[in-house]
Structure 1
Amino acid sequence: MGRVKLKIKRLESTSNTQVTFSKRRNGILKKTKELSILCDIDIVLMFSPTGRPSVFHGEHRSTSLNHPQLSSFCSILCFNAT
């Protein structure tokens, strides 16, 4: 017998939100790596519930950016998208 499908809703507790993000982050980065290999793409940008950005940019590299780096990165990304 299968499991009951849960409705996705926003978590009310900030500590639960942070714990859930921390647990799912590695899975998201793993899928990102697979997609980057399959489709030859480079970057994924995620924001934690506290607003801290994380970037995955191919070949097992994952870094965190501070805000000045983020604005520089976003301007480069937006420039390359046009």
Structure 2
Amino acid sequence: MSRPSTAQLFLGTFTVVASTVALLAVSGATGVLEVAVLVGFALALGTLVALLPLPSSSRSGRAARVPAPAGHEYARQR
């Protein structure tokens, strides 16, 4: 298994922080056990996001480039 890229690590970390804040705000949890369960769930969700592959469109744009047909000139540059 390959290592996660910087973008994947950023998305995973952001997911952990954002989901923790959102879950704590929505649930109103006050007990230590309740908070620990919510943080554990957010950590698992962030780990899952970090390990999922990024969509191919966000990777290098090499596949989208189409080479010009041989023998055709580009527009003249001044």
Please indicate, yes or no, whether the TM-score normalized by the shorter chain is above 0.5: no
- Which entry has the higher C-alpha Rg, 1 or 2? 2
TM-score, with normalisation over the residues of structure 1?
0.32
Q: Give the number of the structure whose residues are more often helix, by fraction.
A: 2
Higher strand share: 1
Q: TM-score, normalised by structure 2?
A: 0.33
Query: Relative contact order: is structure 1 or structure 2 higher (C-alpha 8 Å, sep ≥ 6)?
Result: 2
